[in-house]
A and B are shown apart, each in its own frame.
Chain A
Amino acid sequence: GDSVTQMEGPVTLSEEAFLTINCTYTATGYPSLFWYVQYPGEGLQLLLKATKADDKGSNKGFEATYRKETTSFHLEKGSVQVSDSAVYFCALGPRGGATNKLIFGTGTLLAVQP
């Protein structure tokens, strides 16, 4: 079945460091790909998405490119801030339709130190 694999955390970085969180997927068909972020004590929020190969999703300085050839959707940010500390989830889902089941990776905790 479909699945998502994320790098295990925690990832600990100093402020202004470069961030990469790896995500690879296995899926039939052509899924949409997402990064969600969960700040402490809160629900998940969509960070960015891409719906087809070579699309780049971006938001708040974060970017991820849908790579069909490597089945990857790695999250990157050039300069992290303390406020980016959160758990990041990679997810895949169908492009549309009623059966809108998201499959999540295990989440990666990011801790940014001042």
Chain B
Amino acid sequence: DTAVSQTPKYLVTQMGNDKSIKCEQNLGHDTMYWYKQDSKKFLKIMFSYNNKELIINETVPNRFSPKSPDKAHLNLHINSLELGDSAVYFCASSHSGTSGNIQYFGAGTRLSVL
């Protein structure tokens, strides 16, 4: 069983559209994250939820809205997509309070905005 799974793996869409990416983890973790990886492989955190509560919200446009219906799921909805949103988006999860804070990553969603 895949520990952290994201769907879809690839997403190609037009500018101005609205799209969602879903993430699920079956590790029993209480914290989930969204990261954005740009074309130069630079990885930056966007959001983090702990027990369904938003705890990290980096400087991300309001067009990005995360939603956590329960501890095992964290979805990312993007409104009015722009060319600059093209990137690979990674979901991750971890168990809070654990020494070393290991995060487990999904395989990524490659978003291409045309």
Contact = CB atoms under 8 A, between A and B. Distances in A.
Interface residues of A, number: 29
Contact of B42 (A94, A101, A107): A107
B99 A98 contact: no
Contact of B31 (A95, A98, A103): A98
Interface string A77-114: 00000000001010001111111111110110100000
Contacts of B92: 44
Contacts of A38: 41
Interface residues of B, number: 29
A45 B48 contact: no
A21 B4 CA distance: 28
Interface of B: 4, 31, 33, 40-45, 48, 50, 55-56, 90, 92, 94, 96-108
